[in-house]
Amino acid sequence: MSPANVTIDCLQYCNWSRTIFEQMREGGLDAVHVTICYHEDFRQTAANIADWNRRFQYYDELIMPGRSALDVSAAQASNRTAIYFGFQNCSPIEADIGLVEICHQLGARFMQLSYNNQSLLATGCYEDDDPGITRMGRQVIAEMNRVGLVVDMSHSAERSTLEAIEISSRPIAITHANPYSWHPALRNKSNTVLKALSESGGMIGFSLYPHHLRDGSRCTLQSFCEMIADMAERIGIEHIGIGSDLCQDQPDSVVEWMRNGRWTTDRDFGEGSADAPGFPEQPSWFKDSRDFPNLVAGLKKVGFDGESIAAVMGNNWLRFFESAFSRT
């Protein structure tokens, strides 16, 4: 049986509401990887999961919990969107490796080893120096590999990322970032990282967050799709998906919290600046989940065939999900 094509967005952090879930349906999203924590400890993460449990009850006709890859098709078959949980930082496991399995039991399927800063496990992309994966980091990667929690290095620094790829016995993911060669932001990834990632069977989700885009909010759909075409040639189309990093309907206080958590008494602007501290404006062709068909049209225009478009829009992530979430 040739399975149906699926559409997957491998990163969103929206101000969740009925409207947003309805837009996921309008955009044809079969699955979304949602961030459920940036700086939260385990107890706070459990509260965030409880909030999601309630959303699964309230919006039962629009969304469902995503646990295994099979839930993508189950969602498609029932006209819903499967929601997969991820952490943008390792704060939920605190200093307790036992919490890796506990978080997986509660539905977590992706965990970044660091978020911009040094963590107990790895270095973030805004640190000056990167000593690589820590002693605990090596242990936690092995445990994540065992239980089926994907190592995500989206906000990690170069050496830590290369070491994570090397140490992890299962392919890792960079759920939301773009190539540094296309737009030189600290959050975007070097050719070295992208090569090692793809050669190890990993996946990258290309981001539509303006600070990751060439020309920011004014980035054109054509430029974004040409970048994808270029990357498909360089690392192989099978390693490419979308991780939009959509932060819809969030007040600017949220991006400030994402950047500052409770770790600084100064004010860190991350990818923004004192002049532009808030969320940047989305490009006109990608404002919310209803704009996924624009990406399909854009990819077609730069020469992708139907099968390749389907691969980028979700089939590649689905294949990755199929091997990533189960226990070894």
Using CB under 8 A as the criterion, which residues of the chain lie in contact with a copy of itself when the complex forms? 42-43, 46-47, 49-51, 53-54, 96, 98-99, 101-102, 105-107
Residues 272-280: contacts with CB within 8 Å, 24+ apart?
Answer: 272/211, 277/252, 278/252, 279/247, 279/250, 279/252, 279/254, 279/255, 280/209, 280/210, 280/211, 280/216, 280/217
Q: Which is nearer to a copy of itself, 102 or 136 (CB)?
A: 102
Q: Which is nearer to a copy of itself, 50 or 297 (CB)?
A: 50
Q: How far is the CB of 144 from a copy of itself (least distance, A)?
A: 14
3-state helix, strand, coil in the chain (%, to 5): 45, 15, 45
Q: Which is nearer to a copy of itself, 89 or 244 (CB)?
A: 89
Closest CA to 88 of 150, 136, 32, 26: 150
Q: How far is the CB of 328 from a copy of itself (least distance, A)?
A: 12
CA atoms within 13 Å, Cβ hemisphere of 133: 19
Q: How far is the CB of 60 from a copy of itself (least distance, A)?
A: 12
CA 46 – CA 268 distance, rounded (Å): 27
Q: How far is the CB of 44 from a copy of itself (least distance, A)?
A: 11
Q: How far is the CB of 147 from a copy of itself (least distance, A)?
A: 9
What one-character DSSP code corresponds to residue 278? S
Question: Which residues does 256 contact at the CB level (< 8 Å), separation at least 6?
Answer: 267, 277
Q: Which is nearer to a copy of itself, 105 or 222 (CB)?
A: 105
Q: Which is nearer to a copy of itself, 31 or 49 (CB)?
A: 49
Cα-trace Rg, the chain: 18
Q: How far is the CB of 117 from a copy of itself (least distance, A)?
A: 23
Q: Which is nearer to a copy of itself, 97 or 167 (CB)?
A: 97
